[in-house]
């Protein structure tokens, strides 16, 4: 176990840096190569480096210091390229009268850390309406992108997990999401309300449309639950978001109620408070305490979190987690069943995605999941 390294990572992920506590963490021997690898796995290397460089750069060994600096240079270059491409895409979307919203990525980094480069991400995530996905795909093809989901599959109304595009030259990745791909939302995403409540986020002298603060926080809470909260960056984002943004708490829980994600939101806020000392209004803390399942889920997540997904829960533990995160057993079991039989592109027959009926894909999905997550490949 990398106890000292994990404790240092947690200290650096807190939205309110405690210099004395950080100094204490650095007073014990640190395996710096292991710390760097762990921070990368958890998506917090940029955040960790920023905190250490601000006050404790001298504590980092020269070889590790140079490694981190090289990584930061590459990350800064990638961020500049991706944000530049984001502005280009929105200019083209505007010309084609396609509405889109940015989620996660540079906008979330700006909102959480006041810097689009202080959060690790590997692609650009955009929300568009399902009715616009075909012409958006056609536009992306003209802009030099290769589509993982074919036009034929879209015309056949097959719904993937996301619509992935890779630029043929720069290799930048863009993922498009619609109200139909947010399958981990307990209820369908109210996309028109999302667009109505949109706001502009400004950085690098440009503004881009994004969900409201409250809608974004609900989205990233559901995203964390989708991934079993297996990376520290998911929780750090929640803590930083709460610390730095003027949230309307009533509006926040109303947005969560729209998609039946109240427990997912309470779990997100509870994790941020427990692990990273996020400060919450008393009425919110009381709401979290009133849900004993949140405390149980928090303990479960804290147990597997340090592994950063390298020791994922088994298929039955995953199923129970989904049910409990959704709410009651009566609501959780239908939610789990829907996730278990809603096919994505991974379930489509090779080279037959436009021909084979979705029902056949749905029949095969539980067996694929059992093989993927069952012990030793067996359910």
Q: Is 342:364 a contact under the CB 8 Å cutoff?
A: no
* CA 372 – CA 376 distance, rounded (Å): 9
| Mean pLDDT (10-residue bins), the chain, 379 residues | 89 89 89 96 94 88 95 94 96 98 96 91 96 98 96 91 96 97 96 98 91 98 97 98 97 97 98 97 96 95 92 87 92 92 78 60 74 56
Helices (H), 245-350: 249-258, 262-276, 282-289, 292-304, 315-326, 329-341
C-alpha distance from residue 33 to each of 14, 24, 64 (Å): 22, 19, 7
pLDDT at residue 379, rounded to an integer: 36
Question: How many residues are given for the chain?
Answer: 379
Cα of 201 vs its chain's centroid, Å: 18
Q: Give long-range contacts, CB 8 A cutoff, 24+ apart: 163-166.
A: 163/133, 163/137, 165/137, 165/140
Sequence-distant (6+) residues with CB within 8 A of 334 are none
Q: Is 36:45 a contact under the CB 8 Å cutoff?
A: yes
Q: What is the DSSP string of 22-77?
A: HHHHHTS---HHHHHHHHHHTT-HHHHHHHHHHH-GGGS-HHHHHHHHHHHHHHHH
pLDDT at residue 347, rounded to an integer: 79
The secondary element (H helix, E strand) that includes residue 206 is: strand 206-210
pLDDT at residue 352, rounded to an integer: 55
* CA 185 – CA 331 distance, rounded (Å): 13
Q: Which residues pair with 147 in a beta bridge?
A: 165
pTM above 0.85, yes or no: yes
The secondary element (H helix, E strand) that includes residue 124 is: strand 124-127
DSSP 3-state of 91: helix
Q: Residue 190: which region, alpha, beta or left (left: phi > 0; alpha: psi -120 to 50)?
A: beta
b (16+ CB within 10 A) / e for 314-339: ebeebbebbbbbbbeeeebeebbeeb
């Amino acid at each position: 176990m990398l106890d000292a390294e994990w404790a240092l990572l947690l200290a650096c992920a807190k939205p309110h840096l405690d210099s004395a506590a950080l100094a204490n963490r650095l007073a014990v021997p640190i395996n710096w190569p292991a710390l760097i690898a762990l921070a990368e796995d958890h998506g917090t290397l940029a955040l960790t480096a920023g905190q250490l460089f601000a006050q404790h750069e001298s504590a980092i060994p020269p070889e590790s210091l140079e490694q981190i600096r090289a990584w930061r240079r590459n990350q800064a270059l990638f961020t500049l390229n991706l944000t530049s491409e984001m502005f280009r895409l929105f200019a083209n979307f505007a010309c084609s009268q396609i509405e889109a919203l940015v989620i996660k990525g540079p906008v979330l980094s700006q909102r959480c850390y006041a810097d689009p480069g202080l959060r690790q991400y590997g692609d650009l995530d955009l929300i568009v309406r399902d009715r616009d996905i075909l012409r958006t795909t056609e536009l992306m093809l003209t802009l030099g992108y290769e589509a993982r989901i074919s036009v034929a599959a879209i015309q056949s109304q097959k719904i993937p997990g996301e619509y992935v595009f890779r630029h043929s030259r720069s290799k930048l990745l863009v993922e498009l999401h619609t109200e139909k791909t947010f399958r981990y939302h307990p209820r369908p995403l109210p996309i028109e309300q999302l667009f109505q409540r949109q706001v502009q986020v400004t950085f690098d002298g440009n503004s881009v449309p994004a969900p409201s603060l409250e809608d974004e926080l609900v989205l990233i809470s559901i995203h964390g639950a989708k991934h079993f909260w297996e990376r520290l960056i998911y929780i750090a984002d929640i803590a930083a978001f709460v610390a730095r943004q003027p949230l309307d708490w009533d509006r926040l829980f109303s947005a969560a109620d729209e998609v039946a994600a109240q427990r997912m939101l309470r779990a997100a806020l509870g994790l941020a408070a427990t692990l990273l000392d996020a400060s919450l209004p008393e009425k919110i803390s009381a709401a979290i305490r009133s849900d004993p399942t949140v405390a149980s889920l928090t303990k479960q997540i804290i147990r597997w979190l340090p592994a950063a997904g390298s020791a994922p829960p088994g298929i039955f533990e995953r199923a129970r987690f989904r049910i409990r995160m959704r709410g009651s057993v009566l609501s959780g079991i239908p939610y789990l069943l829907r996730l278990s039989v809603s096919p994505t592109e991974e379930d489509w027959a090779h080279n037959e995605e436009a021909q084979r009926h979705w029902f056949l894909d749905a029949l095969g999905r539980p067996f694929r999941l059992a093989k993927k997550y069952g012990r030793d490949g067996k359910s």
